[in-house]
Structure 1
Amino acid sequence: MLFPSIITDSPITRIILDDATAGDDLPDVLAVVSCTDPAAYHGLPRQTPRRTPLLAEHALGLYGRPSLRGHRVISDDGDVATGLDWSPRFILDHAPAVDGGRLSMTAHDVNAGLSLTTEIEPMVGGSLRIRHALTNVCPGSYVVDGLEVCVPLRDDQNEFIDFTGRHENERQPQRHRVADGTWVREFRRGKPSFEGTALIAGTEGFCFGSGSMLGVQPAWSGNTVLAVDRITEDGTAVFAGELLQPGEVVLTTGDTYTTPWIVITACNDGLDGVAHSLHAWERSLPAHPASQPVTLNVWEALYFDQDPDVVLDLVGRAARLGVERFVLDDGWFHARRTDTAGLGDWWVDPSVWPDGLKPLADAIHDHGMQFGLWFEPEMVNPDSDLYREHPDWVLQTTGRLPLPHRNQQVLDLTNPDAFAHVFEQISAVLEECGVDYVKWDHNRDLLEAGTNARGGAPAVHEQTVAYYRLLDTLRGRFPNIQWESCASGGGRIDLGVIEHVERVWTSDMTDALSRQRIQRWTVQTVAPEYMGMHISATTSHQTGRTYTLDFRAATAVFGSFGIEWDIRQASESDLARIAQWIAWYKQERDFLHSERVVRLDVTDPGVMAHGVVADDASRAIIAHVQYEESPSNRGVWLRVPGLDPKARYRLRWAGPVAEDPEDVLREASRRDWDPLPESGPLGPDATITGAALGTIGVRIPRCHPETIRLIEIVRV
């Protein structure tokens, strides 16, 4: 059975299952392929005796990682039996069937008293998503220690990347070679955190533009697990699911546990092919932003030092620049003069805002801008009225609080009273102040996250469900407000949360050089229009490094563009330049946020290159980033994919820098003998075919470090 079986204009991910009917074991996955016409794969023969189902079962003679790990507990007259039904073997109730565009199969193990349903669903953009649902159908409690989707790799997909990271240095790739044994990556912080929960396998040497790939990502904002497993009898498989704490999921008779959706993406055009599929799906979501406003956030301008007159002054300055959304960050609510107090007390502090926030909101709206406001709904400071009244509303194990971090604890949203308290307090502020946008932060990990409702038993799963429910309930009550996911920067960016928000804060690192690395890999999971990218201060608050305004702006302008800077400190010439960049962004954002993202593979380690290519191949905008010193004077060749091979193209410098030719020319390191041409990379009159641009490329001389050139490519 091949699914989906329709012919498509572009390649999509398809899964080929062995034929199976009622009474058979779960069907094996014969292959996962990417193609437009599935006809060539119909009737694919089985070629190995080894089993490869989406649920790996020990009972089938598989000695690698099992997909389901659990056991039954039965208590009878004081006697407790444990360790029962730990190795099920599921038998199909019926042949896998497609209904409403979704492939599903249901199976039982009568002896173990368990039922399993597996669903596979096609996604806009060509990926698939898969999930299991396990039901306990007999007496006794079934403890689920783990339930994961298992997807086989081809034997030549022998390398994979996952991601590491930290605060202010999110999602940095690390490459591995597949070897015998089990490689496991567990995410235990109660959120994806700064690493990012993605695993992408491919053929040897895969890169942005080439390689046969299989991407695997859990669409979940809580604890997760990824594994790569290969033993001497069996080929490589990737496992993905929710990481469950001991006793976190216990199924009584009739209860069901459903895994998060696991998104799989097959393609034959490298890492960019995986990203393109996910971007297309994200752009189809109901919450996808139609257009991202230019945003100014006051955090790095004011921190906790909020003064109404100062903020109103910034409002006027922002409006004159062309800013479209003004965000008041942390520090506006009760007792919040530092990060040691106030979280959980969601009302406006009259000692800071004696007239409330309504006058500020009105002023922002009068200037034609949206009003944004910061919250951290899931957190509480011990120094708060909320905590003093309800210390039992904190996630904790029995008898002690988790170690403090950032002077705060995590509010137990699985507690209905705590949930209702937060919902009503935030709703009151949103209704009173005319808020258009919420920056939703989450500034500590979930340590020892148990709930008092169950004697301190683990609650990360239910807390994650409650987070989604709170966000969706607020969205339902305030349908015109847009929402941003922030977690100390990029600590909660995943394919689960992206269905609930219009924007993510990519990183608390606003240093432009560091942002180049962070943004380069965040776009692997989310489309650029979701990614908050701001012009920061001339000298970075995080690193102390200093950059030109054009370098900072060109780094930010491909995403959800904004400012994170005290613009009172900017010179008149800087303000004029910012206004130029804002105008250019407004002119180009529809193009930048709707077409195909590309990251170019270049041979110079001192250069990065990325951009956007129109789906109809009529146009592209490419950024050449001289990240650091090049090791040679050879320059670099930029090979741009996705253009019409037969058409001819003209190249010119783009963006505000191009308005002054001298600004372009001075960035060449050796302008005396290897200059940058004044009008564009090829000079004023030359054109080049799409085929030549894709295979030979356009040469850019070595440039000064920490500079960027924007190149517009237009079909003639």
Structure 2
Amino acid sequence: MKKTWYNLLLILIFPIGLIAQGTTNIKTVNTDVDVWIKKSFAKKAIPPFSFVYNGKSSATFITKWGYSVTKKAPGEAGVLHYEFNYQEPGNGLLVTCDVKGFANFNAVEWVLRFKNNASAQSGIIEQVKATDLNFVYEKGQVPDVHYADGSYAAKEDFRPRLQQMTAGAELKMVPEEGRSSQKSFPFFNIAFTENTGVMVAIGWTGTWFASIQQKQAQQLSLATGMEHLRTYLNPGETIRTPSTAMLFWKGNNRFTGHNKFRRFILAHHTPKINGQIARYPISNSFNYGDPAPCNEYTCMTADYGVALIKRYKQFKLVSEVFWLDAGWYKHSGEAPQKNWANTVGNWSVDSTRFPGGLGEIADEVHKAGAKFMLWFEPERVMKNSDWASQHPEWMLNASDAHDAFLFDLGNTEARQWLCKTMGKLIEDNKVDYYRQDFNMQVDIFWKNNDKPDREGISEIRYIEGLYAYWDYLLKRFPEMIIDNCASGGRRIDLETTSRSAPLWRTDYNYGEPVGYQSHTYGLELYLPLHGTGTHKTDKFSFRSSLGTAIVYNWKITESSGNINEMQACQAEFKKVRPFFYEDYYPLTGTEQTTANNIWLAYQLHRPSDDSGYIVAFRREEATSETCIVKLQGLQPQKKYTLTNEDTGEIAKKTGAELSSGFTLVLKERRSSLLLRLGVE
């Protein structure tokens, strides 16, 4: 009875979800990540996660449950790996937190799992916060949360945002439609001071949430998890939750944290091929943009594809990859009634246009010294397609009004069939790189297929299945890369970056340079690996698409193109590309990035040899011919040269001078500047 009254009193004083959290003092955290892990997950300590079980907050009972810790063998050099187990008395619910520490980056990440070890159905698990943590900071500080918009096919995609965490402030982020970076973006930087903070990343390719609140003086709370989860578990059943990564940083300013995080992503959340970071490619399209009623590649034929490859070779324009997008499969070429979008689910090669399959095109690509990448969209299945009629038992429906099913990746039998079927299709057509698109709202399918008191189970099983499918492909084809597309970049999170990269980061107005500049400017703060397209060869347009990857969507069959300009663009891209793997600094602020009356400039810096580039744009309505920028990451006493790549002009300045202010000059509106930086 006393225990009941005690629990009731706790709930009255601290509403569920506000009861004691794990606590981190931001002043002392930047020391040893192993110490942080052992302290945060210590026996009898409130761990940095929480949940409600049978109506009670875990903070009221978790320290009384059975506890064990296992130090696991690290899978990577420099990585600590622990498993912390919390067992309900009587061998009921088991809560496991799989924790990794990265000493070189002062970073930690974990995944929370629940398993019902009992022989009967478990109680209800809800309000799960995979991260539930209080940061304590010094009096007088006002933390800033630097975050970004997600993708929604807008000029504002990945736009930098700022929320000052004054008294009572709250910031909640939730993506839309079940795609992890649609409208909201699962990466952000909490700067407690100008010099101290924590980078946070969430790994969940569904509907996650992040809530940051200033609940009381000198305390900032962080909670992350699944937005919709309230379920019991059957005997022996296990579920996982979103992964969370935190990287603690100290430095001159918040960009120390951003750049440390970019390097962390490259080191530990980027696919590896033969032990090396996968280099996402420079690609050629197949003369993108056929006349109506063709769309995408619905009018492509084997002969035309082979001829185009030979033409690229003739003009010395062959890149690393030839990229064939949507429209190569059965029925997609039956215009005008059919098109690339309303024929998915018919995953066999169109034998009329490609009588020998796609192998003939792949062979020609390989003869040219390149790789062959092919587009797929296996999750969206049209209701009148082959897959829908052959396997109705594997189709999830949202409503009769919907024209497509969702292929049930959460069904083990269905997923295994998908793995074998797509693997064979890839092998038979000699595909090197796999591009997966996803053009649908998915959360309504999950919701419609959840059973009573099982909210979130369909989503969990589906997301687990997606990861298992991609992991299968990467294991079966160890030199493959996965291009992650979802109507552009709407499925970017910590889990997908570990397996893929978005080579087409947005479906925003194809080739519009101001938007493309803005997308680069915001996304580079978090991720170095992503790409977009380029359609023109003028320097203002082309430089708007610089990065680690690109697809050249030039027309090489029309007189409007210029082969010499295309070759010059390719050469410039190859020179600048390596620096996008290094440190990145926005130079013109983050308050306004999309307006047509501003300059936009950024710096790429390689600390190992103190070299880099400045990329700058004067937009159409920018009235000033000059823009003063302050370079970062330089040694004050060193002398540097800045070479204008267009004119050859050279300026010489010390690091101190460049850091205090350097004037960029562009006489013409809608023009660009590329300056190479080096040590004298």
TM tier, smaller:
0.7 to 0.9
Which segment drifts farther, 173-182 or 447-456?
Answer: 447-456
> Which residue identity does 1:652 align to in structure 2?
T
SS of alignment partner, residue 351 of structure 2: coil
Query: Aligned runs of 1:438-453 on 2, under 5 Å?
Result: 438-450=434-446
> Which residue identity does 2:433 align to in structure 1?
Y
> Which residue identity does 1:566 align to in structure 2?
K
- Aligned-residue offset at 1:108: 4.9
SS of alignment partner, residue 24 of structure 2: strand
> Which residue identity does 1:283 align to in structure 2?
L
Q: Is the 8 A contact 2:530 2:549 kept in 1?
A: yes
**Counterpart in the other structure of 1:409:** 405
> How far apart, CA to CA, are the structure 2 residues paired with 1:85 and 1:637?
54
> Which residue identity does 1:198 align to in structure 2?
F
**Counterpart in the other structure of 2:11:** none
> How far apart, CA to CA, are the structure 2 residues paired with 1:648 and 1:446?
55
Q: Is the 8 A contact 2:159 2:522 kept in 1?
A: yes
SS of alignment partner, residue 334 of structure 1: coil
**Counterpart in the other structure of 2:533:** 534
SS of alignment partner, residue 251 of structure 1: coil
Q: Is the 8 A contact 1:188 1:243 kept in 2?
A: no
> How far apart, CA to CA, are the structure 2 residues paired with 1:103 and 1:160?
29
Match for residue 601 of structure 2 among 592, 606, 609: 609
Distance 1:279 1:340, change over 3 A: closer
| Fraction of identical pairs, as percent | 19
**Counterpart in the other structure of 1:102:** 81
Q: Is the 8 A contact 1:346 1:425 kept in 2?
A: no
Find out whether 1:521 has 2:522 as its counterpart: yes
> How far apart, CA to CA, are the structure 2 residues paired with 1:366 and 1:99?
46
- Aligned-residue offset at 1:253: 4.6
SS of alignment partner, residue 704 of structure 1: coil
Find out whether 1:707 has 2:671 as its counterpart: yes
> How far apart, CA to CA, are the structure 2 residues paired with 1:389 and 1:700?
62
Q: Is the 8 A contact 2:176 2:182 kept in 1?
A: no
> How far apart, CA to CA, are the structure 1 residues paired with 2:325 and 2:590?
42
> How far apart, CA to CA, are the structure 1 residues paired with 2:641 and 2:151?
42
- Aligned-residue offset at 1:180: 1.8
- Aligned-residue offset at 1:103: 5.2
Query: Aligned runs of 1:557-572 on 2, under 5 Å?
Result: 557-569=546-558, 571=560
Distance 1:396 1:145, change over 3 A: farther
> Which residue identity does 1:323 align to in structure 2?
S
Q: Is the 8 A contact 2:208 2:226 kept in 1?
A: yes
Match for residue 248 of structure 2 among 252, 262, 266: 266
Match for residue 576 of structure 1 among 552, 560, 564: 564
After superposition, the C-alpha distances for 1:105-143 in whole angstroms (9 at most, x for unaligned) are 444554995444445422354432133334445554132
> Which residue identity does 2:431 align to in structure 1?
V
After superposition, the C-alpha distances for 1:331-379 in whole angstroms (9 at most, x for unaligned) are 0011113145331221101122123211111111111221111111211
> Which residue identity does 1:308 align to in structure 2?
A
Distance 1:453 1:714, change over 3 A: closer
> How far apart, CA to CA, are the structure 1 residues paired with 2:662 and 2:494?
35
**Counterpart in the other structure of 1:460:** 459
**Counterpart in the other structure of 2:419:** 423
After superposition, the C-alpha distances for 1:118-170 in whole angstroms (9 at most, x for unaligned) are 45422354432133334445554132223221232336243324433453222
> How far apart, CA to CA, are the structure 1 residues paired with 2:286 and 2:463?
29
Match for residue 637 of structure 2 among 632, 643, 646: 646
Q: Is the 8 A contact 2:606 2:612 kept in 1?
A: yes
Q: Is the 8 A contact 1:104 1:117 kept in 2?
A: yes
SS of alignment partner, residue 228 of structure 1: strand
**Counterpart in the other structure of 2:308:** 314
> How far apart, CA to CA, are the structure 2 residues paired with 1:395 and 1:380?
10
- Aligned-residue offset at 1:322: 3.3
Find out whether 1:619 has 2:614 as its counterpart: no
> How far apart, CA to CA, are the structure 2 residues paired with 1:172 and 1:452?
33
> How far apart, CA to CA, are the structure 2 residues paired with 1:351 and 1:641?
57
After superposition, the C-alpha distances for 1:638-663 in whole angstroms (9 at most, x for unaligned) are 21111222210111112xxx2xx3xx
- Aligned-residue offset at 1:292: 3.9
**Counterpart in the other structure of 2:63:** 91
After superposition, the C-alpha distances for 1:17-50 in whole angstroms (9 at most, x for unaligned) are xxxxxxxx999423245887669x99xx99xxxx
> How far apart, CA to CA, are the structure 2 residues paired with 1:526 and 1:558?
11
Match for residue 327 of structure 1 among 303, 307, 323: 323
Distance 1:299 1:256, change over 3 A: farther
Q: Is the 8 A contact 1:96 1:103 kept in 2?
A: yes
Distance 1:499 1:28, change over 3 A: closer
> How far apart, CA to CA, are the structure 1 residues paired with 2:448 and 2:391?
12
> How far apart, CA to CA, are the structure 1 residues paired with 2:29 and 2:621?
41
Distance 1:157 1:568, change over 3 A: farther
> How far apart, CA to CA, are the structure 2 residues paired with 1:499 and 1:38?
25
Distance 1:496 1:33, change over 3 A: farther
Q: Is the 8 A contact 1:164 1:172 kept in 2?
A: yes
Query: Aligned runs of 1:186-585 on 2, under 5 Å?
Result: 186-195=174-183, 196-203=185-192, 210-232=194-216, 235-247=219-231, 250-253=232-235, 255-269=237-251, 270-285=253-268, 287-288=271-272, 289-298=277-286, 300-302=288-290, 303=296, 304-319=298-313, 320-337=316-333, 338-396=339-397, 400-401=399-400, 404=402, 407-450=403-446, 458-501=457-500, 503-509=502-508, 510-527=511-528, 530-536=529-535, 538=536, 549-569=538-558, 571=560, 574-585=562-573
SS of alignment partner, residue 439 of structure 1: strand
> Which residue identity does 2:556 align to in structure 1?
I
TM-score, normalised to structure 2's length? Answer: 0.81
> How far apart, CA to CA, are the structure 1 residues paired with 2:149 and 2:20?
35
> How far apart, CA to CA, are the structure 1 residues paired with 2:144 and 2:162?
7
- Aligned-residue offset at 1:213: 2.8
Distance 1:256 1:347, change over 3 A: closer
> Which residue identity does 1:363 align to in structure 2?
E
> How far apart, CA to CA, are the structure 1 residues paired with 2:87 and 2:420?
44
> How far apart, CA to CA, are the structure 1 residues paired with 2:345 and 2:382?
7
- Aligned-residue offset at 1:263: 1.1
Q: Is the 8 A contact 1:217 1:262 kept in 2?
A: yes
- Aligned-residue offset at 1:237: 0.5
Q: Is the 8 A contact 2:362 2:429 kept in 1?
A: yes
> How far apart, CA to CA, are the structure 2 residues paired with 1:460 and 1:215?
26
- Aligned-residue offset at 1:431: 1.1
Q: Is the 8 A contact 2:209 2:227 kept in 1?
A: yes
After superposition, the C-alpha distances for 1:80-122 in whole angstroms (9 at most, x for unaligned) are xxx5788742116569886652355444554995444445422
Distance 1:327 1:585, change over 3 A: same
**Counterpart in the other structure of 1:59:** none
Distance 1:297 1:461, change over 3 A: farther
Find out whether 1:692 has 2:676 as its counterpart: no
> Which residue identity does 1:564 align to in structure 2?
N
Q: Is the 8 A contact 2:29 2:248 kept in 1?
A: no
SS of alignment partner, residue 123 of structure 2: strand
Q: Is the 8 A contact 1:89 1:109 kept in 2?
A: no
> How far apart, CA to CA, are the structure 1 residues paired with 2:640 and 2:209?
46
> How far apart, CA to CA, are the structure 1 residues paired with 2:385 and 2:239?
36
Find out whether 1:142 has 2:139 as its counterpart: no
Distance 1:429 1:389, change over 3 A: closer
The two structures, once aligned, show a CA RMSD in angstroms of 3.5
Structure 2, unmatched stretches of 5+, are: 1-18, 74-79, 291-295, 334-338, 593-597
Q: Is the 8 A contact 1:324 1:369 kept in 2?
A: yes
Distance 1:136 1:434, change over 3 A: closer
After superposition, the C-alpha distances for 1:389-409 in whole angstroms (9 at most, x for unaligned) are 333422236xx44x53xx533
> How far apart, CA to CA, are the structure 2 residues paired with 1:30 and 1:125?
18
> Which residue identity does 1:712 align to in structure 2?
R
